[in-house]
Homo-oligomer: A and B are copies of this chain.
Amino acid sequence: MSGTARGKSPARHVLLVACADGPGLIHRITGVLFRHGLNIVENHEYVEKESGTFTMRTEVDGDAPIATVAEELRRELPKGAEVSLHAQTPKRVVVLATKESHCLGDLLLRHAAGELAATIPAVVSQYAELAPLVKRFEIPFHHVPAEGLEREAHEAELEKVIVPYAPEYLVLAKYMRVLTPGFVGKYRNRILNIHHSFLPAFVGKNPYAQAYARGVKIIGATAHFVNEALDEGPIITQSVIPVTHNQDAATLARAGRDVEKIVLSRALRLLLEDRVIVRGQRTLVFE
């Protein structure tokens, strides 16, 4: 790709570009990077034919005046181009959960092992059940009861807790409660949810009971962004496992838990590495 002298490990930055497609874009973009001695470590492009939109994700190493580079890129690109160039640093992630421990526990283990490029400053739940688990990992646990509160009132309480942590992402680790469009709107493409079915099959409640009743031979889990319509946000990653008629809703749920936690952690890693671009109801996952 390109080489700068590699003394002490140089800063790693991620460049994301989205603009109208046209001739010579890659050449012009890589020209700016080259002139500033930025070494391309990884590079992906995608053109959405329907809209004629060019998208590019490039990881670069090197020390350069980042604001200047971004400015030059904007000058080289068509009007309206979106350009983001930022250092790859750990992100703050607040986790919301309810009573099930498997997804939350998996995130806490990875966090404790230093495996996530993230800090988890707090876990929030409308119930107290998961407090002991979170305490094991010495992370603040906030119990924000929902009982007797309208949805908006509960969310106002949630926000009082969450906002001070200034999280870049909220992760719903089996947070079994619908969020209002008002709340969701404040975290556009920044709320990650795990849905315990292979969406768009079995939206809504009790997907494992639905799967049993329908007699499917495969079940799965879906990690997606939350937007206004329940279970209809852009999908980031999905995984499935085969099942048989012998498994009832309870054993389907047990088998599904392993899929859920792996899918959620995988999606979070993709977000933390800036590999996910949202285009309408679809995501581009550059990996």
Contact = CB atoms under 8 A, between A and B. Distances in A.
Interface residues of A, number: 70
Contact of A202 (B200, B214, B220): B200
Contacts of A185: none
A237 interface: yes
How many chain copies? 4
B214 A281 contact: yes
Contacts of A239: 218
Interface of A is mostly: mixed
Contacts of A160: none
Given A30-B30, A40-B45, 20 more contacts: A1-B26, A2-B21, A2-B25, A4-B23, A24-B30, A24-B34, A26-B30, A27-B27, A27-B33, A31-B31, A101-B109, A102-B113, A106-B109, A199-B216, A200-B216, A215-B235, A215-B283, A216-B235, A217-B238, A242-B242
Closest 8 CB pairs of A and B: A215-B282, A2-B23, A27-B30, A201-B201, A24-B34, A105-B109, A136-B136, A217-B238
